[in-house]
Structure 1
């Protein structure tokens, strides 16, 4: 499959990058941020974003084992912390909005592990990676095309 277009308006790209950087910074945990972005990108089948965020996660200290098991994090036992599991559950709930609203139990569990500001940044990060996924998948942007 070749790209339909590689054009992305500079204003849109800059705004998305700024939002992504702000959400990551406010979350304060770069490894968790990458796990969230990888998980959403898995769900959305975005090869470009998966390639990029797996690479960033590994360079940031994440293990190949955890990346390999991320798709089945619920069955991975204690490999992921309670805080990470809460973030991943919220990531899935926000990404799968076609199933309805984010369940109260999922939100409340995340709120136990993140203060109000962190939770707002986590939701912002989930929203922006879903937007990036949609931009890349709809244009069929292939993996490997970002500056490493």
Structure 2
């Protein structure tokens, strides 16, 4: 084992920024759900699903993947009307969803969005992702 280093001589104030924000909810029930978002080319030879919640650590790739996840989750919640009008959600852009009401159990397993139900922005983002996979 390497010897322990002596304490540092120079002392300096360091400001640290993180992507962690406290979520404070008082006197309310909050529901937590694990999320996995996959895209695939259904009905083609390249049908292998791709997990959008995981991937490259390159900043540009991460930002693009987070955008896709956010838009896909929002679209699924809209299409399937999973939350009521007073429903609210908080999504971490990866694999955790918090809601202020329980989601309908019959919809929890899979929410599929057919290509024809994608928004134009999502279509473009998914098309770019599929081109990269070829």
Normalising by the smaller structure, the TM-score range is under 0.3
TM-score, scaled relative to structure 1: 0.23
Q: Higher Cα Rg: structure 1 or 2?
A: 2
TM-score, scaled relative to structure 2: 0.25
Structure with the largest fraction of strand: 2
